[in-house]
Amino acid sequence: MINKILKLSSLGNLLIKYGYSGLDSSSSKNLGESLDKLKKSGDDFFNRLVRIMLTRTMNQAKYFSSSEFDYSDFCHYGLAMEIYTHYTSPIRRYSDVLVHRLLSAAIEYEALPFDMTNKSKLNKQCDQMNRQNRVAFFCSRESNDFSTFLFFENKSETIDVVIFGVDNFSVKAISQKYGMEANVQFQEKNCIKETDIENKEVKLKDGTDLKVFDKVQVEVKASYFNFRRTISYHFLKKLN
């Protein structure tokens, strides 16, 4: 949790550095209102990009047995609810089946199954649901990546993308047209010369400065190497 708070604070400081109003994360309501105020003239995608970056700083909600945690941990920050139970339909997730059983016992419609009175077994069920939830997430992402690879496998396209991440190993960008994220690759003549991780900036060999929120023109390429399908952006020029 501390790491996530630091990331959220870093994102707020980064926005201030580049002249945008800071984020107010004192509550989800204040955060939502401060997000609504983040505008960039002539760029409708900017606000959406900040929201994507903000989402990356947050922990994913997890299932847990209420007997193992304090009441203050029952909240859902994103939904601004002090106490929250995931509930949709029993035909969708096993977690909903468990909720139905608890509700049935609460209104004295049916007795609570023995397994649900065993803390150890219930904790294992929650752990399994969290694992399967992550597996489903990665399966969905891999499916999207595979479809994207097939789309670009036999074609090349020049598009505009926005830089949203800089680290020691890569520059990451996202396409507004396709909603696709990928690493930006540089040719030898304009490879990365210097990297400033704290300020999310890089200087290329040809003197070009790139930073978060910059728009660049790239060529999309699909490649297959070491049994891995990848999509990459090949840098052409800076646009702003």
Residues 86 and 142 occupy one common structural domain: yes
Q: Is residue 60 part of a domain?
A: no
Residues 42 and 91 occupy one common structural domain: no
Q: What is the pLDDT of residue 215?
A: 92
The tally of domains found in the chain comes to 3
Where in the sequence is the domain holding 175, given as residue range(s)? 155-238
Q: What is the pLDDT of residue 1?
A: 39
Q: What is the pLDDT of residue 18?
A: 77
Q: What is the pLDDT of residue 26?
A: 76
3-state secondary structure the chain: CHHHHHHHHHHHHHHHHCCCCCCCCCCHHHHHHHHHCCCCCCCCHHHHHHHHHHHCCCCCCCCCCHHHCCHHHHCECCCCECCCCCCCCCCCCHHHHHHHHHHHHHCCCCCCCHHHHCHHHHHHHHHHHHHHHHHHHHHHHHHHHHHHHHHHCCCCEEEEEEEEEECCCCEEEEECCCCCEEEEECCHHHCEEEEECCCCEEEECCCCEEECCCEEEEEEEEEEECCEEEEEEEEEEECC
Q: Residue ranges of the chain with pLDDT lower than 50? A: 1-6
Q: What is the pLDDT of residue 173?
A: 94
Q: What is the pLDDT of residue 89?
A: 64
Q: What is the pLDDT of residue 147?
A: 92
Residues 212 and 170 occupy one common structural domain: yes
Q: Is residue 183 part of a domain?
A: yes
Q: Is residue 178 part of a domain?
A: yes
Q: What is the pLDDT of residue 2?
A: 36
Residues 135 and 188 occupy one common structural domain: no
pLDDT tens string 14-71 = 888 777 776 777 777 788 888 888 888 778 888 888 888 888 877 778 888 888 888 8
Q: Is residue 94 part of a domain?
A: yes
Q: Is residue 61 part of a domain?
A: no
Residues 70 and 142 occupy one common structural domain: yes
Residues 110 and 137 occupy one common structural domain: yes
Q: Is residue 143 part of a domain?
A: yes
Residues 161 and 112 occupy one common structural domain: no
Q: What is the pLDDT of residue 91?
A: 60
Q: What is the pTM of this model?
A: 0.77
Residues 132 and 187 occupy one common structural domain: no
Residues 162 and 142 occupy one common structural domain: no
Identify the domain boundary among 149, 172, 204.
149
Identify the domain boundary among 121, 149, 177.
149
Residues 93 and 46 occupy one common structural domain: no
Residues 107 and 165 occupy one common structural domain: no
The C-alpha atoms of residue 104 and residue 72 are separated, in whole angstroms, by: 25
